[in-house]
Amino acid sequence: MNNTICEMFGIEVPIFGFSHCRNVVAEITRAGGLGALGTAYYTPEQLEMELNWIDERVGGKPYGVNLLLPQKFETVGQEKLDFDKLPEEHVRFVRELLDAGGVPRLPESERESLLREALDQLHMTPEHAGELLDVVLRHPNVKLVVSALGSPPRHILDRLHEHGIKVGAMTGKVQHALKHKANGLDLVIAQGTEAAGHTGVVSSMVLWPEVVDAVAPMPVLAAGGIGRGRQMAAAFALGAKGIWCGSIWLGTRESDLPDEMKELLWAANAEDAVQTRSRTGKPGRMLRSKFTEAWVQPGAPQPLPMPWQSVLSTEARLRFDRAVAKDFMTCPVGQIVGTMRHETSVRQVIYDILAEFGETLVDMAELSDEVAE
């Protein structure tokens, strides 16, 4: 294919893939799409290592990174995140929930350091974001930077553009997409509410064409609810120039999710990808588990505001992940989880999407002839 987006990045197929896992990112790019690495929890040293690893595998092909580049650091970085500052009621609720579920506590000898390490990853400052950016700019195969927290500040946008990097932003609202356009970004990723993680409330079917019309001729990537070729065809019918997928890679062999987590995903239906405030305090879509369910039972405490629910859920996650407690384990995933049924590979996912996309276009062409008659 050779559309606006393929030309913009010199890629073969307009399939973008987001992952926290470098193997997935590299493999998407190698298959002719463009992989984008989620970098939220990296130190600059770790990020340098990850990007070097990808560079070695993509043979000069382009890839991207997602950075947290907010205009302001209001909710993060102001106050030291500490487990001791959590309300006693909430700490007890989580502890008793996991105790009752037979999930072992963290060993006392390791608890402090495990928590500290996890909390340090949550601590985001402008300095830290700047250091990550410096790492990115030293890697010339990075051709796309995506912000998940609004348009990046002007000086950062300029630096990225000077390095020949295109800049995009996730958006769940038309008004935000218009801001991104006004701020000089190169593309927006319109993400429907059916996607994984923090999203807006508007569905892809409604959001995509609204955003496409609002920011035209700026290209729009469609995100949320795409895991197969029919959905890619729908995205193009709705005016998108490419697709942005996240959840669909979670079940591939390149994904570094634990096997038990993958098995939970393969067994899940679309309605098991629930909106929950249990992890960060803000509604985000994740796989339903005893942990997400506990917070919507009568008598459960209200989840804490950001970033404190993340601090609170940290120990719980460490506990159920280390114990491989399948009843409690969860991860962010979108509603297309219902179409993931067994292990596959990144390349197979892309081939399957493209094959069904091609078939659907043929069907649509026949329909077009019928309508014209």
Interacting residue ranges for a copy of itself, rule: CB under 8 A:
1-3, 173-174, 192-194, 200-207, 209-210, 224-226, 228, 230-231, 233-239, 269-271, 274, 334-336, 338-339, 357-358, 360-365, 367-368, 370-372
Dihedral-angle region of residue 10 (phi above 0 means left; psi in -120 to 50 means alpha; beta otherwise):
left
Residue number, 130 or 358, with CB nearest to a copy of itself: 358
> How far apart are CB 222 and a copy of itself at their closest, in Å?
9
In the bound state with a copy of itself, the residue whose beta carbon lies nearer, of 4 and 141, is 4
Minimum distance of a copy of itself from residue 346's CB (angstroms): 21
Q: DSSP class of residue 76? A: S
Task: Give 360's contacts (C-beta < 8 A, 6+ positions apart).
Answer: 229, 230, 232, 233
Residue placing its CB nearer to a copy of itself in the complex, 19 or 193: 193
Q: How far is the CB of 368 from a copy of itself (least distance, A)?
A: 4
* 349-362 exposure pattern, b = at least 16 Cβ within 10 A, e = fewer: bbeebbebbeebee
Count CB neighbours of 233 within 10 A.
Answer: 20
Complex with a copy of itself: residue 209 or 258, whichever CB lies closer: 209
Based on CB atoms, which residue is closest to a copy of itself, 167 or 234?
A: 234
From the CB of 225, what's the least distance to a copy of itself, in Å?
3
To a copy of itself, the closest distance from the beta carbon of 198 in angstroms equals 15
> Least CB distance from residue 240 to a copy of itself, whole Å?
10
Q: Which is nearer to a copy of itself, 121 or 203 (CB)?
A: 203
Please say whether the beta carbons of 224 and 192 come within 8 A.
yes
Whether omega before 217 lies within 30 degrees of 0, making that bond cis, reads yes
> In this complex, which beta carbon is closest to a copy of itself, that of residue 50 or of residue 194?
194
Distance CA 322, CA 330 (A): 13
Give whichever of 167 and 250 is closer to a copy of itself, judged by the CB atom. 250
Residue 139 C-beta: closest distance to a copy of itself, Å: 31
Closest CB 354 distance from a copy of itself, rounded Å: 8
Cβ count near 146 (within 10 Å)? 26
Host H or E run for residue 358: helix 346-372
Tokens in use for 241? 């120039």
Residue 46 Cβ vs a copy of itself, minimum distance, rounded to whole Å: 34
* String of DSSP letters for 203-267: -HHHHHHHHHHHHTTS-EEEESS--SHHHHHHHHHTT-SEEEESGGGTTBTT--S-HHHHHHHHT
Return the number of the residue (86 or 214) whose C-beta is nearest a copy of itself.
Answer: 214
Query: Per 3-state DSSP, what percentage of the chain is helix, strand, and coil (rounded to 5)?
Result: 50, 15, 40
